[in-house]
Amino acid sequence: MSSARFTLVTGAGGYVGTRLVEELLQTVTPVRVSSRSPERLRDRWPQADVVRMDVLDPTTIGAATDGVGVAYYLVHSMAEGETGFQERDRAAARNFAQAARRSGVGLIVYLGGLGGDDDELSSHLASRHETGRILAEHGPPVVELRAGMVIGAGSASFRMLMDLVKRLPAMITPRWVNTRSQPIAIADVVAYLARARGVVPSQPHTIVEIGGSDVLSYREMMLRTAAAKGRRPVILTVPVLTPRLSSLWCGLVTAVPASIARPLIDGLRNETIVRSDDATRLFPDVAPMGFDEAVARAVRE
């Protein structure tokens, strides 16, 4: 490997992490990737420096952050069950940030979730925001990109949407289907992430909201996704359907487990739309695509 400082991607085995690593390997050297199970990453990316790291085990982090200039933090506990996920996220962010600071990492780029800090956020969105604050409090400067639903073949929220419109000719849905959101294509998420490593922050914690070019309700997303598949589902809204019941329902009719569907659905009660123009100002060469194009690309993928 060269003597240049590494760009580290944590959570490299996940969907966003995988796509980001593929992009960075085309444009950046050297690249280091980390995972709790690094063996399969070595086979996938022989040109990368692969290390084992568990953010809940501080003894494994220093070897991953040493020699790193920019670190991408793509770790969260949503898929690991409900009990205690907030504390796991807090401990993981604190461990990583402190190790990054000791190693002299210059910048952490973190992918969080959209939603106003003054809103009554779902527990998972609140934890995503808290993770950004902890990283900035204990580590080097942080650029936090906040995104809503990611449209891509490997995105759990998009798989749930696709399965619903594919398998159900009619749906009884709760009021959250009318909440506005601003979904974003995976290609645009990766474009923002890749460029964020070049941001020179003027403050310890820089928050940049990113989204696609369309603002839609979940109902509109279902209807437009169905139209792309040649379907016309009937959607009926009822005033009361709890997140737990909704997640159990989704677990029955989609490939997404109820344990993952629940936090996704719980977050749909919050508007997740871009409220500032910081992304346009900082990344003028990124022109996010619209929902229909994002869906078409995801279906081809």
The 10s digit of each residue's pLDDT in 43-77 is: 999 999 999 999 999 999 999 999 999 999 999 86
Whether the predicted pLDDT of 143 surpasses 80: yes
pLDDT band at residue 230 under the 50/70/90 scheme: confident
On whether residue 236 sits in a domain, the answer given is no
- Distance (Å, whole) CA 12 – CA 10: 5
pLDDT band at residue 161 under the 50/70/90 scheme: confident
On whether residue 245 sits in a domain, the answer given is no
- Arithmetic mean of pLDDT, 287-296: 96
pLDDT band at residue 112 under the 50/70/90 scheme: very high
Whether the predicted pLDDT of 101 surpasses 60: yes
On whether residue 234 sits in a domain, the answer given is no
- Distance (Å, whole) CA 120 – CA 105: 34
Domain membership of residue 187 as a residue range: 6-151+182-211+273-288
What are the Cα distances from residue 124, in Å, to 130, 265, 270, 286? Answer: 10, 10, 11, 28
What contacts 24+ positions apart, CB below 8 Å, involve 42-51? 45/21, 48/21, 49/1, 49/6
Two structure tokens written together for 126: 């609140």
Whether the predicted pLDDT of 264 surpasses 90: no
What are the Cα distances from residue 5, in Å, to 69, 103, 109? Answer: 5, 11, 16
Query: Quick check: 254 and 163 in contact, CB under 8 A?
Result: yes
On whether residue 10 sits in a domain, the answer given is yes
Q: For the domain that residue 143 is a member of, what is the CATH number?
A: 3.40.50.720
- Arithmetic mean of pLDDT, 30-47: 92
Residue 42's CB: how many other CB atoms inside 10 A?
13
According to the model, what pLDDT value does residue 78 have? 58
Residue 244's CB: how many other CB atoms inside 10 A?
12
pLDDT band at residue 168 under the 50/70/90 scheme: low
On whether residue 219 sits in a domain, the answer given is no
**Lowest-pLDDT range of 100-114, 229-243, 282-296:** 229-243
Two structure tokens written together for 114: 């959209």
Helices (H) and strands (E) in the chain, counts: 12, 13
What are the Cα distances from residue 235, in Å, to 10, 177, 254? Answer: 39, 10, 17
One-letter identity of residue 53: M
pLDDT band at residue 1 under the 50/70/90 scheme: very low
Query: Quick check: 10 and 53 in contact, CB under 8 A?
Result: yes
- Distance (Å, whole) CA 134 – CA 101: 13
According to the model, what pLDDT value does residue 104 have? 97
On whether residue 120 sits in a domain, the answer given is yes
pLDDT band at residue 3 under the 50/70/90 scheme: low
Show the 3-state SS of 89-127.
HHHHHHHHHHHHHHHCCCEEEEEEECCCCCCCCCHHHHH
Share of the chain above pLDDT 90, in %: 57
Residue 142's CB: how many other CB atoms inside 10 A?
29
Whether the predicted pLDDT of 130 surpasses 70: yes
Query: Quick check: 210 and 147 in contact, CB under 8 A?
Result: yes
- Domains in the chain, number: 1
pLDDT band at residue 159 under the 50/70/90 scheme: confident
According to the model, what pLDDT value does residue 255 have? 56
Two structure tokens written together for 50: 């692969």
According to the model, what pLDDT value does residue 80 have? 47
For tokens 């589902």, the residue is 233
- Distance (Å, whole) CA 258 – CA 251: 4
Highest mean pLDDT among 3-12, 65-74, 210-219, 262-271: 65-74
Q: Give me the chain's average pLDDT, please.
A: 85
Q: Which are the contacts of 60, defined by CB distance < 8 A and separation ≥ 6?
A: 52, 53, 54
pLDDT higher for 164 or 218?
218
On whether residue 22 sits in a domain, the answer given is yes
- Arithmetic mean of pLDDT, 264-279: 80
On whether residue 92 sits in a domain, the answer given is yes
**Lowest-pLDDT range of 1-10, 59-68, 121-130, 141-150:** 1-10
